Amino acid sequence: MITSSAWSGKKYAVLGLARSGRATVEALLASGAEVLAWDSREEARAEFAGRVELTDPVDADLTGFAGVVVSPGVPLNTHPIKPHADSFGVPVIGDIELFAQARAELPQHRVVGITGTNGKSTTTALVHHILKTAGVPTTMGGNIGLPILEQEPLPKGGVYVLELSSYQIDLTYSLDCDVAVLLNVTPDHLDRYEGFEAYRASKLRLFTMQSSEGTAVDASSDPAVHEAILAIEGPGEITTLNPAAKDSDFLDLGNAQSLQGPHNAQNAYAAWAVAFDLGIDRPTVNSALASYRGLPHRMERVRELRGVSYVNDSKGTNTAASAPALAAFDNIHWILGGLAKEPGLGECEAELGHVKAAYTIGKAGPDFAALLEGRVPVEQCETLDRAVSSAASKAQPGDTVLLSPACASFDQYRDFEQRGDHFRELVEAQK
């Protein structure tokens, strides 16, 4: 694990004992810190009985504490922990901030931070894959993979590649990324922010924390975002990706079977910009693009049966995320619905020409059906098993059955992973 003498002898509270919370407690204890911890689940608390003080920090006297470490899932705008910690002058932080504090004692290394509303996981995994292909010691963490504090420190010359949500950036104050990437900013998670401008400002903080030695990569293709980045006194260099560059022959995307669609071209060019800044040559990048196999639930090709392709894009949890998946295929039998994040079809409107038929599920199913009626054949299926069965019975050779719900999953599933796993099981059961 990653430890630091910076935490030794200090007191920390940890709220939430899921994966990152457990890793945080272990790292703090191993570093000689005194820890107060809490989770609403008794079984999670039991793991640390006798090792930490098990008290809800919301009810604790936090005088003298160095920080309250919370899960990114804790809504700072509504949870009482933030005003309670503020009353004691104690910062509310996340495990990424602890990692930032530990960097001074790690072997010489570099950090890549990647944020954006959509495409973060793919770009993070792709940068990690390029570095591995180049023989560079690397690991990925943050919003992907193992908790960063649970991982072994990299040797000298290593590169930490971090996927960072706005929630994680909100809990970080000193993460100086050698390369920071912003992919895009579209309305999302607005229940946690006062509005879109506040959400965008959260993403931009990744650049404000950079020093003059850092490089900022603007892959947003958004003039307003670009102007905001130019106004930041942080990174010493700003790399702006031109949308027209996607048509360049500089990168060989023809052999990159797991990077189909214009959105993945953007992800690939963002990854190349990072690799270039880290000194990786073009042949190595192209070799890595060809061998990249993609991530589960992100335009994941599950199976081809009787000439019909089945694609799991359960990570499409908003319309902006699902639109690129629609753009990547033709003759689509589109399974959509769940817990809508915004009204309407959003960016999916422009891609309906790719849709042969639609099958709606979940709470938003009736609303989507009404929006699609008369534009594409639509069937209200309510549940995923019915949708897969119906789509499979109607699809013809050359068609694609695509789960890209444009919605959150929480009305019927624990998370988008469980939804995607269920889709995969249903597809594999088709005869």
**In the prediction, which pLDDT does 233 show?**
85
Please state which of the ranges 151-160, 162-171, 249-258, 392-401 shows the lowest mean pLDDT. Answer: 249-258
Handedness of CA 232, 234, 236, 239 (dihedral sign): negative
* pLDDT (average), residues 170-194: 90
**In the prediction, which pLDDT does 334 show?**
98
Q: Mind listing the pLDDT tens digit for each residue in 356-374? A: 999 999 999 999 999 999 9
Q: Which residues are catalytic?
A: 120, 143, 189
Query: Is pLDDT above 90 for 263?
Result: no
* pLDDT (average), residues 246-261: 72
- Average model confidence (pLDDT) across the chain: 94
Orientation of helix 282-291 relative to helix 262-277, angle to 10° = 140
* pLDDT (average), residues 280-299: 90
**pLDDT band per the 50, 70, 90 thresholds, residue 243:** low
Contact 303, 392 (CB under 8 A): no
**In the prediction, which pLDDT does 244 show?**
53
Q: State the CB neighbour count (10 A cutoff) for residue 376.
A: 16
What is the number of H-type helices and E-type strands within the chain?
Answer: 14, 17
* pLDDT (average), residues 111-117: 96
Q: Using CA atoms, how far apart are residues 68 and 88, in angstroms rounded to an integer? A: 11
Query: Is pLDDT above 80 for 260?
Result: no
**In the prediction, which pLDDT does 247 show?**
47
CA separation (Å) from 61 to 45, 85, 90, 267?
A: 19, 9, 11, 46
Q: Using CA atoms, how far apart are residues 309 and 283, in angstroms rounded to an integer? A: 31
161: left (phi over 0), alpha (psi -120 to 50) or beta: beta
- For every residue of 7-36, DSSP letters joined together read GTT-EEEEE--SHHHHHHHHHHHHTT-EEE
More confident residue, 122 or 93: 93
* pLDDT (average), residues 345-349: 94
Q: How many residues does the chain have?
A: 431
164: left (phi over 0), alpha (psi -120 to 50) or beta: beta
pTM over 0.85: no
Q: Using CA atoms, how far apart are residues 93 and 84, in angstroms rounded to an integer? A: 14
**In the prediction, which pLDDT does 295 show?**
82
More confident residue, 18 or 69: 69
Q: Using CA atoms, how far apart are residues 26 and 2, in angstroms rounded to an integer? A: 10
Beta bridge partners of 339: 408
Q: State the CB neighbour count (10 A cutoff) for residue 123.
A: 28
Radius of gyration of the chain (CA): 22
Query: Is pLDDT above 80 for 245?
Result: no
